[in-house]
């Protein structure tokens, strides 16, 4: 799920920058005002507009800086304060781009060596329905290069068409320890948690990997996650950065670009700065630590159980990290409209869990933030709006393209021209998705309808 932690990340950077950048800029401006002729006004709420920008940056004595900073802050008007806040907010977004790209180069795509001392892994696979890529995806777990693991497949019904797919793989790989569970166990209103309960209770190994049916796992993927898990004694949660396997078609490219740019940026930057940002599509946890939180049954009242796994583990002092290989989503049924509905569902979840996300969510994308920066700089310095917006957009595209290439770690499956077209469509659709999420707060997922209370807890179903 996209950026549950995005608000905390932005506000952390925002207020950190405010504490340093704002005081120095405003203080320098106030100090520069001392040098004005005696006939000049002693105070001015438009000081930042009246002084040349170079003069604002001249260094003054510490005593003068502090004294004049206090005076200047007291005399700031609302428009100037908003312009400064807007500048700092967008500047923080620029930093997030840089942090995400640098961290991707540092953390992703490293080789891992086999290690027979690593603990066993119980892989829980909740499955509902099938598509033409399901066999390929599930087979990557039967052929994984890990020394000790079991595969636990969970179905709501024995009539699920995916049961036949799993049975054929179990016959093809008879030496693999694989089991199927049906009907689940009702412990809450989250159907995924209910579905996984029998497998969780039956799991034999200390590491639990919850993996969606649409994940294509590299042969060393489980090894990679287990190696990361055992790298620190307090590590209890390891996730794979969500991304997509190369697939043909414009719709598939749209989904891949989203996870390689907008989502990947926040996920990588958040992990770099130790924010809770767990996603449930490919997530490994220590069963002992999870049992301290009450086991997965304790999260049956939440729809976004992956976020609350991470939050509760962090509250108990455990660490989390990402493995070096991204999670390769490989669903066959991809369309832009269905994927936008998926993004909309995530927005609704974030708003329900963190209502104050409304303050940031619509402003974090390229064009809204570009307008904020352009008009802020125009108000503060007189720089024209259009050149600033053009430079902002060029920076955004460049950083997004660089990050996606870093996550891809090989040649992209589409051209630069296609990237630009898909990128533009993604950015223009973002405000519309947010508006739709506000207007239609009910969450529809598969054949279920959910209503959430503030904080993310599922309310009993209503008729719609």
A 10 A CB-CB count for 60 gives: 18
C-alpha distances out from residue 144 to 90, 109, 139, 201, Å: 43, 17, 9, 23
Catalytic (active-site) positions: 306
Q: Are 176 and 151 contacting, i.e. CB atoms less than 8 angstroms apart?
A: yes
Cβ(45)–Cβ(389) under 8 Å? no
The CA–CA distances, whole Å, from 282 to 107, 123, 332 equal 17, 10, 18
Give the bridge partners for 67, in sequence order: none
Token duo for residue 138: 């599930």
Tokens at residue 310, please? 């991470």
Q: Read out DSSP for 159-221?
A: T-THHHHHHHHHHH-TTS-EEEEES---SSS-HHHHHHHHHHHH--SSEEEEE-TTEE--TTH
Report d(CA 434, CA 132) in Å as an integer: 31
Phi–psi pair at 205, nearest 5 degrees: -110, 160
Q: How many CB atoms lie within 10 A of CB 11?
A: 16
Backbone angles phi, psi at 88, to 5 degrees: -70, -40
CA distance linking residue 404 with residue 242, whole number of Å:
12
Q: Compute the distance between CA of residue 82 and CA of residue 407 in angstroms, rounded to an integer.
A: 36
Inter-helix orientation angle 78-107/385-408, to 10° = 20
Q: Which helix (H) or strand (E) holds 227?
A: helix 221-229
């Amino acid at each position: 799920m996209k950026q549950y932690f995005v608000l905390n990340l932005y506000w952390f950077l925002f207020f950190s920058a405010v504490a340093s950048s704002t005081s120095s800029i405003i203080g320098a401006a106030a100090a520069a005002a001392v040098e004005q002729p005696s006939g000049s006004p002693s105070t001015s709420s438009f000081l930042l507009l009246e002084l040349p920008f170079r003069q604002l940056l001249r260094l003054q004595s510490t005593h003068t800086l502090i004294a004049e900073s206090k005076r200047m802050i007291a005399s700031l008007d609302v428009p100037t304060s908003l312009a400064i806040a807007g500048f700092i907010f967008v500047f923080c977004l620029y930093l997030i781009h840089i942090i995400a790209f640098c961290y991707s180069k540092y953390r992703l795509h490293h080789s891992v060596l086999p290690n027979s001392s690593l603990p066993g892994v119980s892989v829980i696979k909740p499955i509902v329905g099938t598509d033409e890529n399901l066999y390929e995806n599930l087979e990557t777990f039967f052929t994984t290069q890990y020394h000790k693991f079991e595969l636990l497949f969970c179905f709501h019904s024995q009539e699920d068409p995916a049961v036949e797919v799993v049975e054929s793989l179990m016959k093809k790989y008879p030496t693999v320890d694989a089991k199927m569970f049906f009907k689940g166990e009702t412990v809450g209103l989250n159907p995924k948690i209910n579905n996984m309960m029998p497998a969780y209770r039956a799991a034999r190994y200390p590491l639990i990997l919850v993996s969606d049916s649409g994940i294509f796992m590299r042969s060393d993927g489980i090894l990679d996650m287990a190696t990361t898990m055992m790298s620190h004694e307090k590590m209890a949660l390891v996730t794979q950065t969500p991304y997509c396997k190369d697939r043909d078609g414009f719709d598939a490219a749209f989904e891949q670009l989203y996870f390689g740019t907008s989502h990947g940026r926040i996920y990588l930057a958040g992990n770099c700065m130790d924010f809770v940002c767990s996603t449930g599509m490919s997530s490994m946890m220590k069963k002992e630590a999870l049992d301290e939180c009450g086991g997965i049954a304790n999260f049956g009242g939440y729809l976004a159980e992956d976020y609350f796994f991470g939050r509760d583990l962090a509250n108990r002092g455990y660490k989390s990290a990402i493995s070096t290989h991204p999670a390769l989503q490989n669903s066959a049924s991809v369309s832009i409209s269905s994927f936008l509905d998926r993004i909309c569902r995530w927005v609704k979840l974030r708003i329900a869990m963190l209502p104050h996300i409304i303050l940031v969510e619509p402003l974090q994308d390229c064009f809204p933030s570009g307008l904020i920066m352009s008009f802020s700089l125009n108000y503060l310095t007189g720089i024209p709006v259009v050149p600033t917006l053009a430079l902002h957009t060029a920076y955004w595209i460049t950083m997004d393209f660089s990050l996606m290439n870093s996550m891809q770690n090989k040649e992209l499956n589409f051209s630069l021209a296609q990237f630009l077209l898909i990128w533009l469509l993604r950015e223009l659709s973002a405000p519309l998705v947010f508006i739709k999420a506000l207007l239609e707060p009910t969450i529809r997922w598969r054949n279920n309808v959910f209503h959430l209370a503030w904080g993310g807890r599922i309310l009993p179903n209503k008729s719609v």
